[in-house]
Amino acid sequence: MKTVLVADDEVSIRKLYHRELSREGYNVLFASNASEAIQLSRESHPDLVILDIRMPGMDGIEAMGRILEENNELPIVINTAYSSYKDSFLSWSADAYVTKSSDLTELKDTVRNLLQEKKPALIG
Amino acid sequence: MRSIHVLPMILAGGIGERLYPLTSNRAKPAVPFGANFRIIDFTLMNCVCSGFRNIHILTQYHTQSLTKHRTERWNFLSSELGEYIELVPPKMRAPTGVYQGTADAIYRNLDLLDLSRPDVVLILSGDHVYRADYRRFIDAHLEREADVTVLTGYVDPSESSAFGVVNVAENGRVVRFIEKPADPTPYATNGRCQINLGVYCFNTTFLVERLVADAKKKTAHDFGKNILPSSVERGAVQACSLDVISPDEKAYWRDVGSIDSYFETSMDLLQTPPAFDLSDRRWPRNSRFREWVPARYSTSARIDGDTVHGRNLVSSGVNIEGSQVVNCILSPGVNVGKGCELEGCILFPDAEIGEGAKLHRVIVEEGVKVPPGVRIGAKWSSGDLTLSKGGVMVIGANRNPANAAFEPQGAVEIPPRAEMPLFVDRLQEPTLAYLGSVH
């Protein structure tokens, strides 16, 4: 089972994502801020990280930089309500940028595709 | 006409191991050169003379030596006009805080690109000696609508294996990079190889895309090894020859990465005419830079009873008391006592040579006091000082020659000087009109 780490400071988002991503068959871990996300990515070795940008304290872009410095192959999805961060070069390190929506289809598709890309090729 | 926003970034984070002990307490680009300069001054002069006065220097080891040099030498840029030379050490956010390669150095500073949003990024090295008008380089980049333009030079295939060799199609498009080929002969055209000189002009968005893609892989995170080969696959890479952008009559470029290349490049300044002329009035033209140029004069000296003819480069504040000095470079504050015989020596600031000392092909570190009467040099003794393959001896700052074994231990054979790259092909005579446009 693939593990997905979600970092978001809003409880309602975490609840929604828990329900939706669990239904997709993922083991879902949660961080309520950036520091927790860095810690969990280090300790729990998730297969993919979904990062909100605007969180109290350290923001998601800074957290992404630190997470990638420790594991540069870990797929990261930026998931924010603001599309403006897309222009920032710093957000380009993410594998995908998905603007928040009540419809999680795009996010779920993105997560599925990134995890499939990462899957090692079957021999034979 | 649209103005182009250019951001120069100078890579100055190499550990400089092959220049040890000159880099034991300073960054490689801060090593004194040409009596009154530091190696990085040439790249900085190229930037400022090309009109670029917003410069980032990515540092890593012994940053303080570069900070000191910037404060003392490059303090004339005007912050009121938005000009700066900014030193950028690693952010040290993770255990792997140091830059993993040249590309990683830029990748970890994407925030700087984000802040200034340049159209093109000029990536330069802090340890090359050459003159270049970067405006011409950027013109070539824009005219050919390239994603990346690489500065190249021509060398004999026998000298190419130390460099990245570039295969270029007739339209100037780079079709292949071969990093340090064991046998460069198959890549030569008309008997010469075109090599990568480590100076790049990137469209900013293309650069960021390539850096991000590379950062996600296990690579050396190096421009020559990784970014440029992947750029050839993904975009338009053009080559621009140094002679097109050099104000020199004979384009000159040297990488001073080792003791021997440092020494030979220094000796090039003493040739007649000099292979690289510090006092060339055309570049830089700025009067401030003129003040930095040391005096150069021809001299004859009696060394070991033989008359030797040559040149010296002598900086201000040097004191020589009736000694024989030839083919030497003397930095500010150097003191040479009576009756010394110095040949082919480079004396760093405030070095003192005691009476009657004989030095042959020796680099003396800053502030070192050489005791009277000693003989130092490969032709007499190897002692326990650093001796390069080319027979150059170095007295480091933490060494006291009085304690070193200077009894003759048999001469060390000095190999003949290896031919160093000097780029003279396809030379364009600098026109007065062009030179007149240099400010």
Does domain A3-118 fall under CATH 3.40.50.2300? My reply is: yes
The closest alpha carbon to B377, from B345, B350, B349, belongs to: B345
Tell me the residues of chain B between 216 and 255 that have a Cβ less than 8 Å away from chain A. 216-218
Contact B110 A69 (CB under 8 A): no
Please tell me which residue of chain B has the smallest CA distance to A69: B94
- Is the pLDDT assigned to residue B427 strictly greater than 50? no
**Would you call B208 an interface residue with chain A, using a CB distance cutoff of 8 Å?**
yes
Instruction: Examine the pLDDT at B412 and tell me if it is beyond 50.
Output: no
pLDDT of residue B105: 93
d(CA B6, CA B12): 19
User: Residue B6's pLDDT is what?
Assistant: 96
Confidence of residue B235 (pLDDT cuts 50, 70, 90): confident
Burial call A42-68: b when 16+ CB within 10 Å, e when fewer: eeeebbbbbbbbebeebbbbbbbbbbb
Q: Is residue B278 part of a domain?
A: no
Residue B223 has pLDDT above 90, yes or no: yes
Q: Residue B99: closest CA among chain A residues belongs to which residue?
A: A69
Question: Reduced to 3 states, what is the DSSP secondary structure of residue A50?
Answer: strand
Lowest mean pLDDT among A8-22, B78-92, B93-107, B259-273: B93-107
pLDDT at residue B211 is higher than 90? yes
Q: Please state, for a pLDDT cut of 70, what percent of chain B lies above it.
A: 88
Give the model's confidence band at A119: pLDDT under 50 very low, under 70 low, under 90 confident, else very high: low
Do B137 and B231 fall into the same domain? yes
pLDDT at B247: 83
Cβ contact (<8 Å) for A89 and B208? yes
Task: Please provide the size of chain B in residues.
Answer: 439
Q: For residues B327 and B383, state if they share a domain.
A: yes
As a whole number of angstroms, the distance between CA B327 and CA B373 comes to 20
Which residue among B93, B111, B208 sits closest to A69, beta carbon to beta carbon? B93
pLDDT tens-digit readout, B357-381: 999 999 999 999 999 998 998 887 6
Q: Do residue B103 and residue B37 come from a single domain?
A: yes
Question: Does residue B175 share a domain with residue B142?
Answer: yes
Task: With respect to residue B140, please indicate whether it lies within any of the assigned structural domains.
Answer: yes
pLDDT for B185 equals: 83
Q: Is residue A114 less than 8 Å (CB to CB) from chain B?
A: no
**pLDDT tens track for B258-287:** 999 999 999 999 998 888 888 877 777 767
Let me know if residue B281 belongs to a domain: no
| Residue B4, pLDDT above cutoff 80 | yes
Per-residue pLDDT band at B191 (split at 50, 70, 90): confident
When mean pLDDT is compared over B37-41, B90-94, B412-416, the highest value belongs to B37-41
Q: Is B111–A68 a contact, with Cβ atoms under 8 angstroms apart?
A: no
Q: How confident is the model over B156-190, as pLDDT tens digits?
A: 888 888 888 999 988 899 999 988 888 888 888 88
Query: Over chain B, what is the mean pLDDT?
Result: 86
Kindly state whether A103 is in contact with chain B, defined as any CB-CB distance less than 8 angstroms: no
The verdict on B156 and B37 lying in the same domain is: yes
Give the residue, B59 or B95, on which the prediction is more confident: B59
Question: Does residue B105 share a domain with residue B21?
Answer: yes
B232 and B107 belong to one structural domain: yes
Question: Quick check: A38 pLDDT over 50?
Answer: yes
**Does B101 share its domain with B229?**
yes
Confidence check: pLDDT of B400 > 60:
no
Domain assignment present for residue B110? The answer is yes
pLDDT of residue B398: 67
Over residues B223-251, mean pLDDT: 90
Give the per-residue pLDDT at B431.
Answer: 32
User: CB A89 to CB B110 under 8 A?
Assistant: yes
Cis, bond preceding B284 (omega within 30 deg of 0): yes
B392 and B432 belong to one structural domain:
no
Size of interface A-B (CB pairs under 8 A): 36
Rounded Cα gap, residues A31 and A57, in angstroms? 13
Mutate to test the interface with A, among B92, B112, B114, B121 (most CBs of A within 10 A): B114
Domains of chain B: total:
2
B340 vs B288, which has greater pLDDT? B340
Range A53-79 average pLDDT: 92
Using a 10 angstrom Cβ sphere, with 0-12 exposed, 13-18 middle and 19 or more buried, the burial of residue A25 is exposed
Report pLDDT digits (tens) over B35-84: 999 999 999 999 998 999 999 999 999 999 999 999 999 999 888 898 99
Look at A28 and B257; give whichever has higher pLDDT. A28
The domain locations on chain A are 3-118
CATH number of the domain within which B399 lies: 2.160.10.10
Please, are residues B149 and B168 in contact by the beta-carbon 8 Å criterion?
A: no
Shortest alpha-carbon distance between residue A95 and chain B (Å): 9
- For the cut 90, the answer to whether the pLDDT of residue B426 exceeds it is no
pLDDT of residue B100: 87
Confidence of residue B399 (pLDDT cuts 50, 70, 90): low
**Alpha carbon of B100: minimum distance to chain A alpha carbons (Å):** 11
Residue bearing the bigger pLDDT, B239 or B437 = B239
Res B201: pLDDT: 97
To the nearest whole percent, how much of chain B has pLDDT over 90?
A: 60
Which structural domain, as residue segments, surrounds residue B128?
Answer: 6-261+426-436
SS3 per residue for chain B: CCCCCEEEEEEECCCCHHHCCCCCCCCHHHCEECCCEECHHHHHHHHHHCCCCEEEEEECCCHHHHHHHHHHHCCCCCHHHCCEEEEECCCCCCCCCCCCCHHHHHHCCHHHHHHHCCCEEEEEECCEEECCCHHHHHHHHHHCCCCEEEEEEEECHHHHHHCEEEEECCCCEEEEEEECCCCCHHHCECCEEEEEEEEEEEEHHHHHHHHHHHHCCCCCCCHHHHHHHHHHHHCCEEEEEHHHHCCCCCCCEEECCCHHHHHHHHHHCCCCCCCCCCCCCCCCCCHHHHCCCCEEEEEEEEECCEEEEEEEEECCCCEECCCEEECEEECCCCEECCCCEEECCEECCCCEECCCCEEECEEECCCCEECCCCEEECCCECCCCEECCCCCEEECCCCCHHHCCCCCCCCCCCCCCCCCCCCCCCCCCCCHHHHHCCC
Domain identity same for B32 and B134: yes
Contact state of B93 with A93 under an 8 Å Cβ cutoff: no
**Residue B244 sits in the same domain as residue B360:** no
Is B427 within 8 Å of chain A by CB?
Answer: no
Please check whether residues B236 and B192 belong to one and the same domain.
Answer: yes
